[in-house]
A and B are shown apart, each in its own frame.
Chain A
Amino acid sequence: MHGKALVVDLTTKTTQEQEIPQKYYEQYIGGRGLGGRLLHDLVDPKVDPLGPDNVLMFVSGPLNATRAFYSSKSVIVTKSPQSGTCLYTISSGQFCHNLSKCGYDVLIIKGKSEGPVYLVVLDRKVEFADASKLWGMNTGDADYFIQQKVPAKASIALIGPAGENLVKYACVVTEGRQRNAFGRGGAGAVMGSKNLKAVAVHGTGDVPIADKAALREAQRFVNERLAAAPEWKADQRKYGTRGALVTLNTGGILPTRQWHTGQYKDVQKFSPENIRENWIVENDSCAPYCPNPCYHWTTVRDGEYAGARAFGPEYETIYAFGTNLENPRFDSIIAVDDFCDLMGVDTMSAGLTIGWATECYERGILTKEDTDGIDMKYGNHQMLLGLLHKIAYRQGIGDLLAEGSQRAAAKVGQGSDAWAMTSKGLEFGGYECRGSWAQAIQFAFSHRGGCHHDLGVPARFELGTPEATKVEGRGAVVKAAASRRIAFDCSVMCTFPLAILGMESPAGLLSAVTGYSLDVPKLYEIGERVLNMERLFISKAGFGRADDRLPSRLLDEPLPDGPNRGQVVPLEALKDEFYGTCGWDPKTGFPKTETLERLGIELRP
């Protein structure tokens, strides 16, 4: 790491370099952890996320630009306009590789430009370019335009119309034709609020590696771990994140019909074999330095969506626009995936928000008068592209839906918050949690909101065991899973192979690159520190025990079928369990002083 941040003030159009304290690297490593620490230092936790006092940070990790396996990830950290909490959001791609090769670990963007602008960072030189002609363009067109102005290997991160129109779940799109995304939590709206259409970055420098021989040895270790899991490797290459979809259905945790149930009757339409046979045209990696590519290009050859082509859709998008809406048309989901990327919209929040409105419509709470004449019924795939367009441009019903399901439910009322499937305003990932209480903890406590990534994926590895529906011990399961996730997110490494690589892999890679002695217990300690740092931020922002909530559907409506039928989430007991495990005050949910002291977390300087 370089020990330096580049600070860009859009209000004054000035830049400066800022030193980052060395101890922050030792305590938080980089990526999600370092960004969380800096957010706490730089931003009042109660700040308006869409005001000029919020910052948007691109934060690299020590492994970026070292060619370490699985290191082609980039992180944005900001305060989320969707949840109001601290947000880290991760994308595949080389943005942070390029940033690191410029000699910076962090790009901090603050203030607000008077007019539309895009930034170009070429090594140590920064240009503020007029983006007035790009404002209104979709991400594909704007990316093409900027590519003509910057070096061929530059990385571009940009927003579409959704970000410009401050859609609460607008994302930041990157890496050209693949259109990877910093998807969750509304970082695109933060860029839009700053009149910042795009950031292009290109670096040509070197990154420090403490021990190159040790790095080669650590790479060999990663390869050995992968070689020991041939079935997993083959499954990932052939099916990617879709590989477990039918298994999740068998286990009763595939959310269906707006989380009424965890099993979908037409699940075979989305079976990995069916998708591979009918839709996938090419296996590809989402970024360089991946030894086992798991992404796929899909295309629609005929019918009403002919010509649609996507780098995906991944499991979460299939859940959000497929099973959750009882939409069996995979061709429509390919088209939706592509369109969301062009508009700059998070597919998960968009799908779940449309799901919330669909249930309102089916119950008569919303009528055709409210929906601009759209027949918002389950299974109506033909409504999706039109609704997404309305959301991106905040037209008609789209203006309500652009706020996300929790805010929309607060406005519409009539008990509709019961099926706004969110926590802290962020829509859930696709893992039904009434039969997996560690997963319920994850959704209720995830600091960026109802996230499937934030605190690990306990629904998966406890599924089908008697422990899955016990209160005692679930706190420890989630805390350990969270620490593992955080270690990868700070490194910055892809988490898909986490269970295969184990914590030994990032420990070896990080030690080689940084020169620090980072063993597995140390990484768990860092994970716990970051977890508490994030908790401290949201506590200061005003979040407490009452905000660690789940919608009443999960608390009061037993699952009707599947192997977890009859189950609900005993949330208050799980809260006590998790607070106790983490050393947080059970009344307020704040980290206790002794917990912060034990972890060496210093308060704002």
Chain B
Amino acid sequence: MKVILRGTLGEGAPQQEFQLPLAGGMTREDLLATLAGQVPAIARHMEASAETGKPIALMIVADGNWVHSGDPIGAEAEVEICPPISGG
């Protein structure tokens, strides 16, 4: 699985790409939980979600399709993860 982090998720490297040897069929939640150990910004979003009880405010697109809660992601997918966009 190719993962592209966009914007502030890259922690100073605005677009960070890396390969993850992940099994197919993992869900949005599984993916984020796996990445949280490697990407501090994602860990912070998950902590904020746990504190507020609101869904994790990250946009995930896999092979051009939205990945919503519970959606499976293919092992060979190209996944883009974007921070929430500021706005009122």
A binds B: yes
Which A residues have a C-beta under 8 Å from some C-beta of B? 231-232, 234-235, 239, 243-244, 246-248, 250-251, 271-273, 456-457, 460-461, 463-466, 481, 484-485, 488, 495-500, 561-563, 565
Q: How near does chain A come to B2, taking the closest CB pair, in angstroms? A: 14
**B41 on the A face (CB < 8 A):** yes
Contact A485 B88 (CB under 8 A): yes
Contact A232 B6 (CB under 8 A): no
Contact B64 A563 (CB under 8 A): yes
The dominant DSSP class at the A interface is helix
Q: Which 4 A-B pairs have the closest CB atoms?
A: A498-B88, A457-B87, A464-B59, A460-B87
| A563 to B, closest residue via Cβ | B66
Contact A232 B8 (CB under 8 A): yes
| B68 to A, closest residue via Cβ | A466
Interfacial chain A residues near B84, Cβ < 8 Å: 460-461
Contact A563 B65 (CB under 8 A): yes
Contact A456 B86 (CB under 8 A): no
Contact A460 B86 (CB under 8 A): yes
CA distance A485 to B88 in the complex (A): 7
Contact B6 A500 (CB under 8 A): no
Chain A proximity mask over B5-18: 1 for CB below 8 Å, otherwise 0: 01110000011000
Known: A247-B59, A271-B15, A273-B15. A561 touches B64 (CB 8 A): yes
**B55 on the A face (CB < 8 A):** yes
Known: A231-B41, A561-B64, A562-B64. A246 touches B15 (CB 8 A): yes
Which of B57, B60, B61, B87 has the most chain A CB atoms closer than 10 A to its own CB? B87
| B4 to A, closest residue via Cβ | A250
Count contacts between A and B, CB distance < 8 Å. 79
Of B68, B80, B85, the residue contacting A460 (CB under 8 A) is B85
Interfacial chain B residues near A235, Cβ < 8 Å: 7-8
Interfacial chain B residues near A232, Cβ < 8 Å: 8, 86
Contact B85 A461 (CB under 8 A): yes
Of B41, B66, B82, B86, the residue contacting A500 (CB under 8 A) is B86
Interfacial chain B residues near A565, Cβ < 8 Å: 64
Contact B8 A563 (CB under 8 A): no
Contacting A at CB under 8 A, from B46-72, are: 55, 57, 59-61, 64-66, 68
Contact B14 A244 (CB under 8 A): no
The dominant DSSP class at the B interface is loop
Interfacial chain A residues near B65, Cβ < 8 Å: 563
Contact B88 A250 (CB under 8 A): no
CA distance A231 to B39 in the complex (A): 14
Interfacial chain B residues near A499, Cβ < 8 Å: 86-88
Q: How near does chain B come to A480, taking the closest CB pair, in angstroms? A: 10
**B83 on the A face (CB < 8 A):** yes
Q: How near does chain B come to A458, taking the closest CB pair, in angstroms? A: 8
Q: List 7 A-B contacts (CB under 8 A).
A: A244-B85, A271-B14, A457-B88, A461-B87, A463-B59, A499-B86, A563-B61
Q: How near does chain B come to A11, taking the closest CB pair, in angstroms? A: 41
Q: How near does chain A come to B3, taking the closest CB pair, in angstroms? A: 13
CA distance A464 to B67 in the complex (A): 8
Contact B59 A250 (CB under 8 A): yes
Interfacial chain B residues near A231, Cβ < 8 Å: 8, 41, 83
Contact A244 B61 (CB under 8 A): no
Contact B64 A251 (CB under 8 A): no
Interfacial chain A residues near B60, Cβ < 8 Å: 464
Of B41, B82, B87, the residue contacting A250 (CB under 8 A) is B82
Contact B88 A481 (CB under 8 A): yes
Interfacial chain B residues near A495, Cβ < 8 Å: 88
Contact B82 A243 (CB under 8 A): no
| A485 to B, closest residue via Cβ | B88
Interfacial chain A residues near B86, Cβ < 8 Å: 232, 244, 460, 496-497, 499-500
Which of A231, A497, A498, A561 has the most chain B CB atoms closer than 10 A to its own CB? A231
Interfacial chain A residues near B82, Cβ < 8 Å: 247, 250-251, 464
Interfacial chain B residues near A496, Cβ < 8 Å: 86
Contact B7 A243 (CB under 8 A): yes
Interfacial chain A residues near B15, Cβ < 8 Å: 246, 271, 273
| A435 to B, closest residue via Cβ | B66
CA distance A495 to B84 in the complex (A): 17
CA distance A466 to B80 in the complex (A): 17
Interfacial chain B residues near A460, Cβ < 8 Å: 84-87
| B55 to A, closest residue via Cβ | A465
Interfacial chain B residues near A244, Cβ < 8 Å: 7, 85-86
Known: A247-B82, A499-B88. A272 touches B14 (CB 8 A): yes
CA distance A465 to B66 in the complex (A): 8
| B58 to A, closest residue via Cβ | A464
Known: A272-B14, A463-B59. A247 touches B83 (CB 8 A): yes
CA distance A398 to B60 in the complex (A): 43
Q: How near does chain B come to A439, taking the closest CB pair, in angstroms? A: 11
Known: A251-B59, A273-B15, A463-B59. A246 touches B6 (CB 8 A): yes
| B81 to A, closest residue via Cβ | A250
Interfacial chain A residues near B87, Cβ < 8 Å: 456-457, 460-461, 498-499
Interfacial chain B residues near A243, Cβ < 8 Å: 7
Q: How near does chain B come to A249, taking the closest CB pair, in angstroms? A: 10
